[in-house]
Amino acid sequence: EAQVTQNPRYLITVTGKKLTVTCSQNMNHEYMSWYRQDPGLGLRQIYYSMNVEVTDKGDVPEGYKVSRKEKRNFPLILESPSPNQTSLYFCASRVLKGLSSSYEQYFGPGTRLTVT
Amino acid sequence: KQEVTQIPAALSVPEGENLVLNCSFTDSAIYNLQWFRQDPGKGLTSLLLIQSSQREQTSGRLNASLDKSSGRSTLYIAASQPGDSATYLCAVLGYQKVTFGTGTKLQVIP
């Protein structure tokens, strides 16, 4: 089954304790992206990756890091989490190029992060 | 910078009504536009995707249109049902970046 998986689904942590949220897709998609969703602000793009070893900032990259060492994985790293990073996080992937591709985005189930 | 606006922010209609949700964007250089629904506390469910070369897409009771020149997309829901109650989001996909609207919260009253 084609899917994007995220782990963990729920996480409560304390300020300053480094954490990683994993994202994996099994569709051989070139493009992967991270979003955060906050009430009243909608979904905002944090980072995206066009392919292995190619990453770039979205609209709200501060306080986050990413890496893309393999095509299927795109982890989100919070080196020193703060309470303002409490949010619902989504990972997504899509094809970047192809003759018949519709470039539809596929989303993971979300990770609810609370930083106290 | 792409900006995406969805109006109205909330909508309440009686069951059976046809309704239209709006999505407008400022930069017409888009790859495609995707509509999602989101139930409270849940993930995103893709409804329809319109490529930049298309003008509309249909799936069941849903029809989405795209007018790039005017920077608008509409999602038409026919014969609304209580199960349609959710937040509807549009996402504008550029080659690199993706911009979401803040959504329209729909309530269909039985």
pLDDT tens track for A2-54: 899 999 999 999 999 999 999 999 999 999 999 999 988 889 999 999 999 99
Secondary structure element (H or E) that encloses residue A34, with its range: strand A31-38
Secondary structure element (H or E) that encloses residue B67, with its range: strand B62-67
Q: Is the pLDDT of residue A99 over 60?
A: no
Q: Compute the average pLDDT of residues A85-110.
A: 83
Q: Compute the average pLDDT of residues A77-83.
A: 97
- For A66-100, the three-class secondary structure string (H helix, E strand, C coil) is ECCCCCCECCEEECCCCHHHCEEEEEEEECCCCCC
φ and ψ of A36, to 5 deg: -120, 145
Residue A100: pLDDT band by 50, 70, 90 thresholds?
very low
Contact A103 B31 (CB under 8 A): yes
Helix (H, G, I), strand (E, B) or coil at B102: coil
Residue A35 at interface with chain B, using a CB cutoff of 8 Å: yes
**How large a percentage of chain A has pLDDT more than 90?**
84
* Residue A42: C-alpha distances to residues A77, A98, A113 (Å): 21, 30, 16
Q: Is the pLDDT of residue A98 over 80?
A: no
CB-based contacts of A62, cutoff 8 Å, min separation 6: none
CB-based contacts of B74, cutoff 8 Å, min separation 6: B20, B21, B22, B23, B64, B65
The shortest CB-CB distance from A42 to any of B96, B97, B100 is to B100
Residue B73: pLDDT band by 50, 70, 90 thresholds?
very high
Residue A108 at interface with chain B, using a CB cutoff of 8 Å: yes
CA atoms of A1 and B59, how far apart (whole Å): 22
Q: Is the pLDDT of residue A102 over 90?
A: no
Which residues in B have their CB inside 8 Å of a CB on A? 1, 31-32, 34, 36, 42-44, 46, 49, 51, 89, 91, 93, 96-103
Return the pLDDT at A69. Answer: 97
Q: What is the pLDDT of residues B94-106, one digit of tens each?
A: 878 899 999 999 9
CA atoms of B101 and B67, how far apart (whole Å): 16
Residue A102 at interface with chain B, using a CB cutoff of 8 Å: yes
The shortest CB-CB distance from B97 to any of A48, A105, A109 is to A48
Residue A56 at interface with chain B, using a CB cutoff of 8 Å: yes
